[in-house]
Amino acid sequence: EPPKGQEGGPAGAHRPRAPAGQKDNRPPDRFQLTFPLRTNYMYAKVKKSLPEMYAFSICMWIKSSASPGMGTPFSYAVPGQANELVLIEWGNNPMEILINDKVAKLPFAINDGKWHHICVTWTTRDGVWEAYQDGTQTGNGENLAPYHPIKPQGVLVLGQEQVR
């Protein structure tokens, strides 16, 4: 069940309700994604390309009871580098973030069948990263692909790892 005071379909897009008397600026329900089965053909590909990035935040609502591992909720590949920016959880390992094939383990506990809001932030300066689950910082580190800007003109896929 989604967190109290929030609504949405089975896959996410759980958003706070607009206060009474205020316009509801929530995106339409078409931004919800459901992956009911683990397959190699269920995914969403973003059509717009990304610019070169020196910092980012990735946030999402996620629900999984997958064991072992939930797979790859987020994958950004550029020519010559399939793992430019990836969130992945495989086997009995914790979720990881990969930037240019460099890895940091993310201290999330999300495979309990409940909705969780997760965020990962990163900056190229010293490769500093932070992880948040349900509004609480759960981890941080540095030296994750320091001074490596995220390359532009790649392909962003949700729900599937990319092999190039």
Mean pLDDT throughout 84-110? 89
Highest mean pLDDT among 7-16, 50-59, 118-127: 118-127
Alpha carbon distance 6, 114 (integer Å): 14
Q: Max alpha carbon distance in the chain (Å)? A: 51
Alpha carbon distance 44, 35 (integer Å): 10
Q: Give yes or no for residue 127 having a pLDDT over 70.
A: yes
Question: Which pairs count as long-range contacts for 79-83, CB under 8 Å and 24+ apart, including other chains?
Answer: 79/153, 79/154, 79/164, 80/164, 81/151, 81/164, 82/161, 82/162, 82/163, 82/164
Q: Mention the CATH class of domain 44-158.
A: mainly beta
Mean pLDDT throughout 71-88? 86
Q: Parse the chain into domains and list their residue ranges.
A: 44-158
